[in-house]
Amino acid sequence: MPLDIPPPPAQKAAMDDKPRIAVIGAGPAGLIAAETLAQGGAAVTVFDHMPSVARKFLMAGRGGLNLTHSEPLETFLTRYRPAAPALLEAVRAFPPSALIAWCEGLGVETFVGSSGRVFPKPLKASPLLRAWLRRLDALGVAFRLRHRWTGFAARALRFATPDGEVVHRAEATVLALGGASWPRLGSDGGWTSLLPDVAVTPFAPSNVGFVVPWSAKMAAHAGAPLKRIAVSFEGTTQRGEAMLTASGIEGGAIYALSAAIRNAIAREGSARFSLDLRPDLPAEEVRRRLAMRGRGETVSAQLRKALGLPPVAVALVQEARHGGAAAMELASLVKALPLTTRAAHGMARAISSAGGIAWTELDGRFMLRAHPGIFACGEMLDWEAPTGGYLLQGCFATGVAAAKGALVFAKRGHTVGPAA
């Protein structure tokens, strides 16, 4: 027999006069929703099926937590696909400046890197998360971990726990269940089966690397970085870095073009992109430097001495010369080394995911049309963006927007449940 979850005794009196709102999902979108709700006068309980909160947030911060970006807002907004009006309005309402102010309000200073990206000064997620959880505790937000949402029961929320099934009743619920990338950290997209009457765009890996069939000799360079390169595909060029893997290539410069490459594979079965190994040198200068080398030098020596290419870049050129690009001149290979892929790396290695709840399923307050009182935010919605701060910004902004919608709904005295 399912049992209602009782509020903590210390919070019961305070909760009696407040609308009860549930948040399911304890990632960035869910936590900022909980904070917004609590500040708005709600009694908030956050549920998550993992044993601890914000696991993906902590993992993302290991390499330097990229909160947002400092570029002009209208340029910033062009990074989102699809360019759903509700998403763009949410970011306008909670823009990068608001996210920076929020972070610094927690006592964590930020700085702008040379690329325009914004980071917390500790360059980690853990100090920020600790300060955030202290604030949520002070606001009276309750947490229920190891609670997996399993659907609705008599206009209430059902959860599977290690101690059996429980139900929770609330005036509104904010779903922040994530997309499908990095499933081992908690977001596996399994929630789609719990909303069968809600249209969901199929999930696809985003900000992901691609499979390239290396020779055994090339695969030995797995883990080697390619710094200060440029990647081009379908008329778009992205400067940055990449890294070879045993089965292909990944990294920031690849991620920025991953949506276009992924879509080309789906459309045509394969995609061909190119690497510029010396984007700082025009093609004529590359030719001039190579022409100055002695005729007795090996190609590898020419590339190393004339152009300063690292071993992994030299190996890429040699791989191309002995493959399908043998007819290309050496300078052209340096400036536009072709790579063909027929598959992205899997969802388990994707930084984020495309797809999710279709925007037509939401009203202007981020409420599911089919489920009055149920709001959705974060990566479970149908949007994607490159790395560079756009992902977290989108999660925070939609979390705030959904929370504000839930507050309005709950304060009108409605009860959550599936549509009649």
The position carrying tokens 């279709």 is: 358
| Cα 415 from Cα 8, distance rounded (Å) | 22
- Helices marked H in 338-417: 390-410
Give the CA distances from residue 346 to residues 11, 124, 192, 250, 305, in Å, rounded to whole numbers and listed in that order.
44, 26, 19, 12, 38
What angle do helix axes 283-291 and 299-307 make, rounded to 10 degrees? 120
Kind plus residue range of the DSSP H or E element containing 221:
none
Would you say 347 and 258 are in contact if contact means Cβ atoms under 8 Å apart? no
Closest CA to 353 of 419, 274, 258, 288: 258
Which residue segments constitute the domains of the chain, with CATH numbers given?
A: 3-205+353-410 (3.50.50.60), 212-341 (no CATH)
**Predicted pLDDT of residue 2:** 35
Positions in the chain whose pLDDT score sits under 50: 1-6, 11-14, 415-420
**Predicted pLDDT of residue 154:** 80
Sequence-ordered list of residues with C-beta below 8 angstroms from that of 78, at least 6 positions apart, any chain: none
**Predicted pLDDT of residue 61:** 67
Tokens of 380: 């479970």
**Predicted pLDDT of residue 16:** 61
DSSP class of residue 26? -
φ, ψ of residue 66 to 5 degrees: the values are -90, 100
**Predicted pLDDT of residue 9:** 52
**Predicted pLDDT of residue 8:** 53
* Rg of the chain in Å (alpha carbons): 25
Would you say 189 and 175 are in contact if contact means Cβ atoms under 8 Å apart? no
**Predicted pLDDT of residue 418:** 46
Would you say 201 and 382 are in contact if contact means Cβ atoms under 8 Å apart? yes
Tokens of 39: 């500040």
Neighbours of 282 (CB within 10 A): 11
**Predicted pLDDT of residue 5:** 43
Closest CA to 338 of 249, 415, 246: 249
Strand runs labelled E in 162-277:
164-168, 172-175, 200-206, 210-211, 225-233, 236-245, 248-250, 271-276
What's the one-letter identity of residue 255?
A: Y
**Predicted pLDDT of residue 203:** 96
- Quick check: pTM over 0.95? no
